[in-house]
Each structure stands twice: as structure tokens, then as C-alpha cells.
Amino acid sequence: MSQISLTRGAAPRPTDRAQIIVIGNEKGGAGKSTLAIHIATALLHAGARLAVIDLDLRQQSVGHFFASRRTWSQANGVEVPMPWAMPLADDAAQLAKASAEDQAVAFETAFATVAAEAQFVLIDTPGSDTGLSRLAHGKADLIITPMNDSFVDFDMLGQVDPVTLELVRPSTYSEVVWEARKQKMLSERRSVDWVVLRNRLATSEARNRKRLEERIDVLAKRVGFRVGPGMRDRVIFRELFPFGLTVADLSSTVRPVPVSLTHVAARQELRAVMQSAGLGDLIEPRSIGGAEGAAPKSAGIKASARVYRPVAASPQR
Ligand SMILES: Nc1ncnc2c1ncn2[C@@H]1O[C@H](COP(=O)(O)OP(=O)(O)O)[C@@H](O)[C@H]1O
Ligand SMILES: [Mg+2]
């Protein structure tokens, strides 16, 4: 089977079943959980029927985020949209100690239940190669990989020659995605879209960034991923975490920190991420301080249905 056949030309994803989004990168600290909660809240504000599965059974960053979200919103008497389902969240600590077989059964059962009824299933994965992470990758329609703007992070995707810095070969995580694509093609005759986003971009690293960009572009063509717009290193992308909130939630009633202009820029970045991932115009532009941003929309799927563009399975866009 040629490389090309795994990354394009397959039947498009049927629109009558959930879209499976896997946030993955075997590098810890790349920004997976941060990206997961931002994408999740953006989808929720668009009224999506969203199931969230946190497969980092030990860290449970996404699980903790949504638990805090419930507590914060109840304590403050405001409504914020919640996932329709979060299977495995209550059993994560116990599941972490279970055998690989038991973990796989628990995941498959939970996944089958929610995938049958959700619009989106968003899966956050741990920063290591676990059986559960592989299972999740094998189910993905869309894999989103954040990476820090660093050759240390690039090393998980592609190996470069230490003398010339030319790309030598795809490496560990690219192979995981390759396997996932193969599985998907064999089981469903469909391709998997893969988007790589650079995260925590700093303003000052022009030379390092340019070198990295060139290698990423070469690798993108070689293994078949799209390169997304990236997110800057911003305090607002981390400081709302303990409240269970993100910039997608900020409004005149949901405002746990003083609002600033940089939040508008941060929302714009999130919007660009959603668009590049093919998740459409899911965040409506609204003034964070203004009245129109007041209440989070309750999950009106019909009302927001128009914003869901069908996502092409091919990465060739
Ligand atoms: N764009 C960003 N701006 C600021 N801090 C970020 C950003 N992305 C991630 N972080 C921070 O980097 C650290 C690692 O992020 P995390 O999402 O936990 O990575 P992973 O899930 O891949 O291990 C966390 O402290 C998080 O708050
Ligand atoms: Mg994480």
C-alpha cells in the first residue's frame, strides 16, 4: 500500500456518525491537554453534542478541567456548556492500575457507547506510547498534534541530520500515525486527516523558527500532514485552567480574570486553530466585554448546525 493511498483519495467520512478527534503527540508538555480543552470549549459553545475521553489516566488534566468547570460555574451561579458525556472520567485512577486488556475493554465499551450518539468524540492522549493511546489513534478521523517550537519536539516527528539539519526520516510519532492510518484504511477504507500545530510560539526566535519551519514543511509532504497556524505562548491559555474555563468561555458574565485586549487575540488564534482543523467557524466573533458575549449558548444543535462544515477526510487542502 503506497503512502499516498493512506492520506488521500479515500471515501469521505460519513456525516451521520460522530467525528473522532484525537489530540496526540508522544512528547509530554507539547500542549495536548491545553489544546484539547480549548477545542472542546469552542465546540461546546457552538452547541456540539460532545463526548470527551481523557486517556491520560494518571494526569487527567482534561478530566480535572471539566470537574473544576462544574464546580466553578455552580459556585458562581453561571451556566457554561458541558460535554454531553465524559466516559471513564470517574474510573480513571482505578483504570490506570488495571491490566492492559482490562483497560482496552473499558475503553472500547465506553467509546462504542458515546460514538453512537455524539457529534464529536474528542480524545486527549498521554505523552507516551500506551495501548490505549494506540487504540484511540486507530479510531481517529482527525489527529491534531501540537508541538513546541523546538527541535526537541520535532524529534518525535522526524529525525534530522546533526550536521546538515536535513530531514533523514520520519520518527516515532509519525510511525504511530502511519499505523493508525493503515488500521483505518483496512477497517473502514478511509483516510485520516492529520494537522500539526506549533504551540507556545515566542516572538523572539526567528532563526530557530525558520529552520524548524523548513523541516516541518518537508516532513509534512513526506508523511502527509497539514500544518496549522499555531498558538502563541500566552498566560491566558493557562491561567483559566483552575476555573475550568478557557478564552472561548469569556463573556461579560464569565470573567474570572480582568479582561484585556490580548484575550481577543487569543480567541482569534483559537478560531484559526478550529478553522485549520476543519472544524469550521465554531466560535462566533463576540466582544468579550460586550453584552452580546453575555451568556454561553445552551446546546442548540439545530441553531448551530449550519456552522458544521463537512470535514473532508483528505489532508490535501
Ligand atoms: N499556548 C500556550 N501558552 C501558555 N502556556 C501553555 C500553552 N500551551 C501549553 N501551555 C502550558 O504548557 C504546559 C504543558 O501543556 P499541556 O497541555 O499539559 O501538555 P501535554 O498535555 O502535551 O503534556 C502546561 O503548563 C500548560 O499550561
Ligand atoms: Mg496532557
Residue by residue, pLDDT tens for the chain (317 residues) are 333 345 544 455 556 789 999 999 999 999 999 999 999 999 999 999 999 999 999 999 999 999 999 999 999 999 999 999 999 999 899 999 999 999 999 999 999 999 999 999 999 999 999 999 999 999 999 999 999 988 899 999 999 899 988 899 899 999 999 999 999 999 999 999 999 999 998 877 778 888 889 999 999 999 999 999 989 999 999 999 999 999 999 998 999 998 888 999 999 999 999 999 999 765 554 444 433 333 333 332 222 322 333 233 333 32
- The verdict on the CB of residue 59 being under 6 Å from ligand 1 is no
- In the prediction, which pLDDT does 282 show? 54
Nearest ligand, measured from the Cα of 235: 1
Cα(164) to ligand 2 centroid in Å equals: 33
Residue nearest to atom 14 of ligand 1 (CA): 29
Q: What mean pLDDT value characterizes the chain?
A: 85
Q: Is the pTM of this model over 0.85?
A: yes
Cα(65) to ligand 1 centroid in Å equals: 13
Tell me which H or E stretch contains 92: helix 92-97
Nearest ligand, measured from the Cα of 62: 2
- The verdict on the CB of residue 234 being under 6 Å from ligand 1 is yes
Cell of 280: 469550521
- What is the spatial distance between Cα 78 and Cα 85, in angstroms, rounded to a whole number? 20
- In the prediction, which pLDDT does 208 show? 81
Cα(51) to ligand 2 centroid in Å equals: 17
Go through the domains of the chain in sequence order and give each one's CATH number.
17-307 (3.40.50.300)
- The verdict on the CB of residue 230 being under 6 Å from ligand 1 is no
Atom of ligand 1 nearest to the CA of 36: 17
- In the prediction, which pLDDT does 226 show? 95
- What is the spatial distance between Cα 224 and Cα 8, in angstroms, rounded to a whole number? 9
- The verdict on the CB of residue 198 being under 6 Å from ligand 1 is no
